[in-house]
A = this chain, B = another copy of it.
Amino acid sequence: MPMAFKKFIKPSILPGFMELQTNEQLAFNEFVAKIRESFELFGFSPMDTPIIEKSEILLAKSGGDTEKQIYEVQKGDTQLALRFDLTVPLARYVAQYYKQLTFPFKRYQIGKVYRGEKPQKGRFREFYQCDIDIIDKEKLGLINDAEILAAIYFVFKNLGVGDFKIYINNRKLLSGLLEFLGLGDMAQEIIRAIDKVERDGTQQLEAQLRAMKIEEMKIGKILSFISISGGNDEVLKLLREAGVSGKEFEQGLEELGNVASYVKSMEIPESSWEIKPSIARGLDYYTGTVYETVLTDYPDLGSVCGGGRYDDLAGYFTKQQLPGVGVSIGLTRLFDQLNQLDLIKKDRNTPTKFLIAAVDVPVEKCFALATSTRSAGVPTEVYTKDDKLSKKLDFANKMGIPYVGIVGADEFQNNAIAIKDMASGEQTRISLDDAGEYLRDKLA
């Protein structure tokens, strides 16, 4: 067809799908690498489950929203769908390979999940979740709840996104309190309201509780309970002295005290975590410890990592009781938010660390050097176009390449190279044979 009449398909992606430019992608991948490394520091093993699963698996424990948001996939007779989280695949995996696994089973998974939400700012239809969970048979020790907190600490310390605070609570405290107040049958509704107090404020919560026709005295008690704050020891003391009793409450208090004591013996800095009685987590799923994490300097971002303990991971797939504890980071959203705030360092447009620039020397003569520095583990490119040196240096600056190797006629004759540090401007002349090692050390 003659060019003039050719109809092009407009290149575009769907709304709600994140796609990055190279400088952003390099920063994103660094985030993923740091999260992965932090998870592995705790011995969490990698897992990679299919993105497509049978619908009956994914919807085993379906609630209204999930079913509406799920992406169905057409192929043959079996009903297929795209996973909407990494927890259901984990449950299926543990139930399926139960006999081969070593318990406690500690796994992480970093992968894309799909939710057909209405596209809006900060909401994605395809996004990365980064999950860790520890699962055991029958009974899971509370030390694991502390390990999860420590893992969150390492993740955010290593990400380098400024100060952060990991809030921790125990769901049994809230449900125990509500039972004590005779509000046990409204517990779900009330806990969901409490869950929003950080976002919507105390007045809003008060109004909601009033709308539920709860007595003023009890509303007062709830509000004063969830506002208990202070150092961790003080909060535990105040909780003990809050005038609440009952088996559930006392068990929650004991669990929370034990977890706090474990975290202390791990020497996780006390400035980075805090017992906060208002932390609820909306899902009914959680039965003990719950976590939320906020970036101290950016409280508007809300919780960037949350989760908790649950009694039974895979009740829909196996009769085996599998208690667990875990948290999830919504990485795509977090990255997007930090990027909007211009908090993502995006100074590299290439993974290249070393650019070879020939000056008055045939560029072919530089190819062996590239092979040699690459063999030393240094990401290397040769500038092959016949441009002036200044243009080559400009290119290195533009791309964020930290070192340029200049091979002039004199260097070439003496088997040498001048390596320019683009940040400092310093230039060092060394033997060609030493270039790889020199750069590797510089970049380490």
Contacts and interface: CB of A to CB of B under 8 A. Distances in A.
Interface of A: 3, 6, 8-14, 17-22, 25-26, 28-29, 37, 40-54, 56-57, 60, 71-76, 78, 80, 82, 91-93, 95-97, 100, 102, 106-107, 112, 114, 116, 126, 141, 143, 146, 150, 154, 261-262, 265-268, 314, 316-319, 349-352, 364-365, 367-368, 370-372, 374, 377-382, 384, 398-399
A24 B60 CA distance: 28
A364 B53 CA distance: 41
5 contacts: A9-B317, A42-B381, A71-B75, A73-B82, A146-B367
Given A11-B317, A41-B378, A57-B11, A74 B72 contact: yes
A51 B316 contact: no
Given A57-B9, A319-B3, A46 B29 contact: yes
A48 B332 CA distance: 12
B267 A52 contact: no
A267 B314 CA distance: 56
B50 A14 contact: yes
A379 B267 contact: no
Contacts of A314: 11
Contacts of A377: 37, 41
Nearest to A111: B112
Contacts of A370: 266
Nearest to A100: B21
Nearest to A116: B75
Contacts of A352: 43
A53 B13 CA distance: 6
Given A46-B22, A267-B368, A368-B265, A316 B9 contact: yes
A contact face: mostly helix, strand, loop, or mixed: mixed
Contacts of A26: 45-46
As for how many copies of this chain the complex holds, the number is: 2
B102 A349 contact: yes
A282 to B, nearest CB: 25
A32 to B, nearest CB: 10
A372 to B, nearest CB: 8
Given A8-B316, A44-B351, A261-B364, 8 more contacts: A11-B91, A17-B50, A18-B50, A22-B107, A26-B46, A43-B351, A102-B399, A266-B367
A28 to B, nearest CB: 7
A381 B10 CA distance: 52
Contacts of A146: 367
B265 A365 contact: yes
Given A265-B365, A365-B265, A379-B41, A78 B384 contact: no
Given A8-B319, A9-B316, A43-B381, A126 B50 contact: yes
A102 B18 CA distance: 21
Contact of A51 (B10, B45, B112): B112
Given A17-B52, A28-B48, A351-B44, A92 B11 contact: yes
Contacts of A17: 50, 52
B73 A71 contact: yes
Given A57-B9, A150-B371, A380-B43, A48 B20 contact: yes
Highest count of chain B CB atoms <10 Å: which of A13, A21, A150 = A13
Nearest to A109: B25
Contacts of A141: 384
A364 B262 contact: yes
Contacts of A378: 41
Nearest to A365: B265
Contacts of A267: 367-368, 371-372
B71 A19 contact: no
Given A9-B317, A21-B97, A384-B143, A45 B367 contact: no
